[in-house]
Structures are given as C-alpha cells and as structure tokens.
Chains A and B, each alone.
Chain A
C-alpha cells in the first residue's frame, strides 16, 4: 500500500476492526500460537508444523493458524489459543507436536476439549 493519509488510516482501522471482531463469530476455527522467544525456545515451531501437518492430513480447510507474542504463561510454553465456533475459547499450555495433533483431532474435529493442557487466560483484556 502506498503512503496513507489520515482518512485512509481511519478507514483501514474501521474495516480491520470489523474483520477482527467478525473472526470470533464466523464459521472458521482459529489456532493462535504464542511465538515469542519463550514459546519458540520451548518448541512452538514444532507445534506449528504439527498443526499444519495434522490439518492437511485430515483435510481440514476451515481452520486458520496465526502467531502472536508471549501470552505471559511462560511456565507452560508453548501456549496456544484455540477458538472453535460454538465452543468456549481456550488456552492450551505445554503444547508439543503430539498435543498439537490431539488438539486437531479432539478439539477441532471432535469438538471436545483436550484434558490436562487447558489454562486460563491470565488477565483481562483492557481494550474491549
């Protein structure tokens, strides 16, 4: 994109805001992986690869994988947030490749939560 004017920036913000809030309500499942140094050091890249591989393997098309920074739960890295339509949004901790595959099979496909790896979001989000 070329350099923006004030108006263009405001328009972009409006449309992106809409897009991000819509994401929560749409039909698409979402996997967000914490990829700060702490996450990567604990194996977030392996988990990322395993997610991709398992999704491909099961021919899942309507799931989006994105990365984010540190969620703050460094003791349970790698951490992954999973949002499936009509299910509560949850955070998983200690997600290695094996757990990543379980999340795809049990949570994304099987619509049930994966025991032993669920954590709570550590803090409320101040921007609603």
Chain B
C-alpha cells in the first residue's frame, strides 16, 4: 500500500543545526500519536539549498513548501495537513500558494532557470530520439525552411546573446562578419577546450546534451554559408568525446548532418578535433592553429577569425555554452530570450559552483542574479558554517568578488567593474581559512605553466610575479614587492600577445585591491592571517589548557611532540613540519596556531 502523503524533512547539515533532527522526531511522535503513520511516510531528505529559511518541510504529492518549521509545529502539520488535508497557511513559504500549487511556482525554484541545461539530466544523451522529442532539431528546420540567414543573424542580435567563453562579444555580430566576409570556403568551430581550474560546464553540456551543440553549429553553417564544422575538445574529456561522436553518427544517419540535410540543398558536416589540454588553446587563434595541425600558439588579432580564421578562411567560433543557447533562441524568439537577464547581459549563465560551499554543483541562473542568491539560496551557504571571504570567477583570468559585493547583480559589466570577469563560468567559493596570497599563487603557477612562451611579457612577467608571490608567502617579502607586482602586471596587460598573458595578472591586481592588508601582514608582520602559508605558521602548546592527554603526540607524524601523561606537552619547533594534525586532534583548544 502506498502512502497518501510523504513528509520530507530537510536533514542537511545546516538544517541539522537549526533543529531539523528535533523536528523529525516531533513529527514522528505526532504521526504515531494521531494514528496517521499509515497515512503519511516521514522521510529525511538532503539539503534543499534554502537554509536561511530552514528547517524546511515539503509535503508530497501536493508539494506544499513549509519554511522555518519548528518541533512545536509538528502537531499542527499532522492534524491539519495530513489528517484534514488542509495546508497550514502561516508556515507556507508562499502564503498565497493555493492547495495543489507546485513548488515549481515559488520564487526560490525560479532562482535557477535552465536554457543551456534544458536537457541535461532529463534525456538520455545517447538517444537522438529523446532530443528530437524535446523539440530537438526544430530550430534547424525553421532556419533551413522558414528563415533567411539575415533573419537568423537579426534574431541573435535582437536576443542580445553574447559569447559565453568569457569576453562576451555579441554572437549575432560575429556571425554577421563571417557571413559578409568574402570567401569560397567558410568554417564553423566549437570551442570545447574548457581549461579553467574548477570549471566543467561545457563538459557537462557535451555529455548531457550533445545534440544541442550539433544543431546550433549546423544552424550557423546554414547562416554563414559554411559546409564544415569542427569541435575542438580536449582529449581528457573521454565521455564527452564518446557522446559527441555517438551523436554525430546518429545525426548523420538521420540526415541531419551530411549532404542535403532534410532534403534541402544545404550540406554540412562536423568532425571532432582532440586537443592535448593546453590552456592557451582555449584562445581562439591558438585553437585554430591547433586544428590546422600546428603548434597551439596565438597570433595577433585583427584580422579576427570571423574574417580570416581556419586555414585563412572566414570562421565562426563560439564556445559550447553559447552554442547550446542558440536552438532555444530560434525556437522561442528574441523577445523571449531578451526578457531574461539584465539590460546589457541577456539570458542565463551556467556556473560550476565549487569550493567551500555546501551544495557544489552545476547551476544555471538568469543574468543579474546576485552572488548572495547563488551562494546562500542555491548553494546552501558556506561549509561548516564558516564565514564567506570571497568568490573567484573567471578562473586564472578573473578576480575575486568580496563580501561587500555579494549583492552585485552578476553580468558582464558589473563583474568587470569590480575587477573580476564573467569568464567561462567557474565559481570557486572561499572562506575565512583561505589565504589570498596562496590562492593567487595557485592561479599564477597555473598560467606560468600554461604560457606558450611566444611573447616575453607573458613568459618572463608571469614567472617573475610568481617568484615574488612565492617570496611573500614564505615571509621574505619586502614593502617594494607590492609596487613591483603591480608594475609587471600592468606591463603584461598591455604588452602580451593574447588573452592568456593579458589577463593572467588579474588575480594579482584583484587580490591586492581587495586584500592589501593581507599582503601587508605577510610582508611586514610575517604573518598569514588565514593560517595557510606554512612558512609563516607555528604551532605551540598553551600550557594552561593542556591536560597532557597525549593525543597530539600520538598523531604527530614526525614525533616532535614530547611530554608525559597529565603534564603539558611541548612541540619541538625545529622538527615541526606544520601539518596541523595536532591542532585538529586536540579536544581542549590547547594548541595555538599562528
């Protein structure tokens, strides 16, 4: 016998602390007491991600969404909702929610809106039929049989779609350049060389909905007059490659790729090109060189690829997320698309939310959503109840967004104005335990490694700045270092050949701007406020607090803690490797870190 109702009680860690457990027990007791335990099943759920309003109770199947529910409400919920079938109005999140209204309609769930990820997690990505069933290839039909190429370009311009790879160039404009460029042969290229640390939006899109990329590229082929497309994807994405290859095979079989698509006189085909995972190949000119079989190094622009790209021919190149937007824009229209987002940034943005956040994951929000909504409402807040310090967007080319900007709406311009950038969509959340010098060093190490070495500002500037940061993190920095960092960063921005070198100083400039005090603490006081930089740390036993339980001495991997049972212990500073295990182990807060 199935139950009539299911009471879902949030038992995520955040709600756990806000009395989720007590609530669960109270509901359990009430169900039994009122003889309703055969009517409704009580279920513990994971975090709903709406912890500010917790504990949350959701009742299925009518999807009533109760917030700030305490154990004292258990009696009422069971008596009213479960037994009499009447909602407890004062606990509803949306007080006007009528009975039977779905949780989909409440504001919280609308914080996310899925356009790019519309099919991810819904369809079987290996079956073209499921994509077709969800209006797949209907946009292609429309473009081939009902629209002129100029209408398609106008639609994209009206929609306000901007490149999702990072720079935000208007897509319609780009296509227009290629369409109007002279040339017997033109190409369409998909940039799936996703390289930012912590970013996996494009991989997930290719894995979950490969046909949306193929359809969009075919639309571009028809619009600009190209008959060949290439998807440049890194070899370290084997599953995405497998699913794309499978999708290309199915599309060819159905005649959605190949000669005379759908019986028209338009022909278009797509091939994959696998990259070796060089970060610089995400830069479009380097990417095109790599497709041509040359070493992946950038060349100065202009001319832009739209006019002179692959093998010198006009080439439309867009990133995966940009492509995945296009079929929906064609199908639902520019007016619909441009109604989502902000004045200058239309549509949605996919973020890979990672770091010190409770609900890390792949999210898609309308442009203009604030960082606070992303972190606290969708992400469920900072792990372990710690304090938010900063979020990093734009990867090695981006910067940090600090707590004072939590309410800044996220779009291209506002992120730029606070020294970060949209980037491809990696968003790494950091808490009070993260050291900004350490984080900056990490990104710089990455760009130094990935610099192709062709131009001196990037090759030498990056390395020099890394060395300075390394020095600072070891407590050997001097007051002049800050100016030196800034001077080199400025030179790199102006003189580097491509985006990699021009933007790689961004993390430095951004963290110096917002966390100068942290730099100064490292330089002047030889102190790491976050307690991250090992060379500036020391662990000491606080004698008054130590009861001599020996736990620290037993856990120390280098056996540098000595002391008798019930006598205060001592850490030998010469041998200490600063692993912090004693600090974590001590139950009496008797070890001082700093």
Which residues from chain A sit less than 8 Å from chain B, CB to CB?
1-6, 9-10, 12-13, 16-17, 19-20, 34, 36-38, 40, 66-76, 79, 81, 86-88, 90, 93-94, 111-120, 122-127
Contact = CB atoms under 8 A, between A and B. Distances in A.
Interface stretch (B175-183, B256-264, B562-570): B256-264
A9 B103 CA distance: 35
Interface in B207-221: 207-209
8 contacts: A9-B141, A68-B121, A68-B125, A71-B121, A74-B361, A75-B361, A90-B60, A123-B109
Interface stretch (B42-50, B481-489, B493-501, B522-530): B42-50
Contacts of A17: 133-134
Contacts of B361: 72-75, 122
Contacts of B113: 123-124, 126
Given A20-B133, A36-B120, A37-B203, 9 more contacts: A9-B262, A66-B124, A67-B126, A72-B117, A75-B359, A117-B45, A118-B8, A120-B48, A122-B363
B126 to A, nearest CB: 7
B290 interface: no
B145 A115 contact: no
Nearest to A77: B361
Contacts of A9: 132, 137, 141, 254, 256, 262
B120 A118 contact: no
A125 B118 contact: yes
B363 A72 contact: yes
B46 A16 contact: no
Most chain B Cβ neighbours within 10 Å, of A69, A70, A122: A69
Contacts of A112: 2-3, 41
A113 B120 contact: no
A105 to B, nearest CB: 15
Contacts of A36: 120, 203-204, 207-208, 239
Contacts of A127: 118, 134-135
A29 B61 CA distance: 17
A124 B114 contact: yes
B44 A13 contact: no
Contact of A123 (B119, B141, B256, B364): B364
A95 B253 CA distance: 36
Contacts of A93: 46
Contacts of B503: none
Contacts of B46: 76, 93-94, 116-119
A43 to B, nearest CB: 15
A92 B370 CA distance: 28
B204 A69 contact: yes
B118 A4 contact: no
B129 interface: yes
B228 interface: no
Given A6-B263, A74-B361, A120-B58, A69 B120 contact: yes
B43 to A, nearest CB: 5
A48 B6 CA distance: 26
A29 to B, nearest CB: 12
A74 B362 contact: yes
Contacts of A5: 255, 262-263
A5 B263 CA distance: 5
A120 B362 contact: no
B134 A68 contact: no
Given A5-B262, A74-B360, A88-B6, A13 B138 contact: yes
B123 interface: yes
Contact of B255 (A4, A13, A118): A4
A69 B141 CA distance: 25
Nearest to B59: A88
A81 to B, nearest CB: 8
Contacts of B511: none
B104 interface: yes
Interface in B282-339: none
A38 B204 contact: yes
A55 B60 CA distance: 26
B122 interface: yes
A38 to B, nearest CB: 7
Contact of B61 (A68, A69, A88): A88
A127 B132 CA distance: 13
Contact of B209 (A66, A69, A125): A69
A120 B114 contact: no
